[in-house]
Homo-oligomer: A and B are copies of this chain.
Amino acid sequence: MEFAKPLPSYLVTRYHGWKATSYKDNQGWYRRLATEGQRPRAMVISCCDSRVHVTSIFGADQGEFFIHRNIANLVPPFAPDGDHHGTSAAVEYAVTALKVSHLIVLGHSQCGGVQGCIDMCKGNAPQLEEKTSFVGRWMEILRPKFDGVAGIEDPEQQARQFERQAVVASLENLMTFPFIESSVKAGQLSLHGLWTDIGEGGLECYDPKTGLFAPV
């Protein structure tokens, strides 16, 4: 594999800085995490977006959050067809092996994946419609929710609402997994839906009573 390159030097420098400070000051905890294994309290499903790091927003330290990040924080419906399902595998591991107590879906504003789905639904993104588009096929998970926001005229408002609906879709799909449904009913697991506004630093939580998101 001649294509593999050495790590860029600026990252080498930062790593050595981390090793000499954060690691060194917490060595006992790191070693315990290594020998005793992880015991995270929550799983977070968030977007790959470089502007939204749940570890920052929640001040997460080593061992607290089991984090799955994919395009648009989507969870596909339960489909045990023998294929590679990365998101379903992550959820299964968190709930059945690690037995997390909270499962948090975190959406965000200005989501490129959600915008791509809007473009697809409006017929403006033929390249995403192609069978070979991984992003397009992935965003199909969200397509059924478009009817609910199709009537919003302002593009900004429509996108912000659709981003929130991506969180709702994931929560609904999570409940189609038998092991999640049973854990929730047994009071061992609770689900939470969040949406954050990148520019203003806002955070909203899905309220099951109203079906709306409200600032926390």
Contact = CB atoms under 8 A, between A and B. Distances in A.
Interface of A: 1-43, 48-53, 55-71, 74, 76, 80-94, 97, 99, 101-102, 104, 109-110, 112-113, 131-135, 137-141, 168, 171-172, 175, 183-184, 187-194, 197-201, 203, 205-208, 211, 216
Given A50-B64, A53-B62, A191 B15 contact: no
Given A6-B192, A13-B59, A94 B208 contact: no
Nearest to A102: B8
Chain copies in the assembled complex? 4
Contact of A49 (B13, B66, B99, B193): B66
A14 B17 contact: yes
- Across the A-B interface, give the 9 residue pairs with the lowest CB-CB distance, nearest first: A17-B17, A34-B199, A28-B101, A89-B138, A20-B20, A29-B101, A23-B201, A10-B61, A40-B50
Contacts of A23: 201
Contacts of A60: 53
27 contacts: A1-B171, A1-B191, A2-B208, A6-B192, A6-B207, A8-B102, A9-B21, A14-B17, A16-B17, A17-B20, A17-B59, A18-B56, A19-B201, A20-B24, A27-B190, A34-B109, A34-B199, A38-B51, A38-B112, A48-B66, A48-B93, A69-B69, A70-B90, A84-B138, A85-B137, A92-B135, A93-B113
Contact of A27 (B6, B82, B201): B201
Could you say which of A9, A59, A113 has the most chain B C-beta atoms within 10 Å of its C-beta? Answer: A59
A5 B18 CA distance: 15
Contact of A137 (B83, B91, B207): B83
Given A8-B29, A97-B135, 7 more contacts: A1-B175, A4-B207, A7-B205, A31-B101, A37-B112, A82-B131, A85-B138
Contact of A171 (B4, B82, B87, B139): B4
Contacts of A206: 1, 4
Contacts of A109: 34
